Amino acid sequence: MSDKIVLYGPIVGKRKTYKRSGKTKTKFSIEVSSTPLLHDFDETRLGKPVAESIRDALSEQIKTTSRNYSVSDATIDRRLRHLKSPNTRTYQKLYMAPRTKAGKVRKGSVDSVPSEQNLTRWGYFSGRLADGLAVRQSVSNKTFYVNVPRNRFDSSTFPHLARFLRALADRIPALRDPSQLIHTPGVRSAIDNSVRAMIGAAEGRAAGKLKALRAQRNALLRSILRAGASAF
C-alpha cells in the first residue's frame, strides 16, 4: 500500500509509523498546486510567506462557505449531544488537542471549543478546521504544505467523513480550482514580495561575485606590475 493516499483532489493523507510506539497514524494535508500557479513553494523561490497567505485564503474561504451552507438535523442533534457531554472520550478526541506526556499540546495541533452559535454552520462548529490550518515545510524537498489539525479528519469520530471531504473539495473555491488563488489579494501580494526579494537576492549575489572578480583582477594586475618592476 502506498504511504500517500489521495482522497478527494487536493486533500492528502500521509501514513507515518512512529518508531517508539510502533503506531501508524495518518496526517492530512491540503496540497495546492496547479500549472497556472507556476509555483511549488520551494523556499529558494517563494518561501514561507506565500504558503501562509494560501493558508489564510483557505481559512477565510472555509469560514465564508460555512455561512452559506447548513448542516442536517442529524448533525445538529449530534452537535447538541457534544455540547452537553464535554467530558466524553469522543468530545476530547474531536475538540481537544493531543497532549504529550508532559501535558503540552502536540506540535501541529490546537484546542477548539464548539459553540452553540455555530450549531447550524457547515464545517464550522468549533472552528478547528478553519482556524487550525498550519504551514509546514518539508525538510527533504523544501516544499511547503498546509496541514489540517490533528484528528480533524478521523473516521472513527467523524461520521460520513468521505461525504464531507467530497463536499469540502467541491465547495471551497481554492480546493476546487487552486489556480484561482493567484487572484487572491493576499496571495498575489505575497508572491510579488517574494519575487522582489528573489530578484534583490540575485542582484546581491551577482554584485558580490562581480566585486570578488574585480578584486581578483586588481590583485592579479598588482602582482604583474610588481613582477615587472622587479625585472628591471
What pLDDT does residue 35 have? 42
- Are the C-beta atoms of 59 and 131 separated by less than 8 Å? yes
Residue type for position 139:
V
Average pLDDT over residues 167-171: 90
d(CA 58, CA 105): 24
Lowest-confidence pick of 50-59, 158-167, 213-222: 213-222
- Among residues 21, 43, 30, which one has the least CA distance to residue 174? 30
What pLDDT does residue 105 have? 80
Mapped onto helix, strand or coil, the DSSP state of residue 228 is helix
d(CA 43, CA 98): 29
Tell me what percent of the residues of the chain surpass a pLDDT of 90: 16
Mapped onto helix, strand or coil, the DSSP state of residue 8 is strand
Lowest-confidence pick of 10-19, 66-75, 138-147, 196-205: 10-19
What pLDDT does residue 62 have? 93
Average pLDDT over residues 64-69: 93
DSSP conformation letters of 34-59: -TTT-----TTTT-HHHHHHHHHHHH
Q: What is the pTM of this model?
A: 0.68
d(CA 27, CA 118): 26
CB atoms within 10 A of CB 103: 6
d(CA 69, CA 153): 19
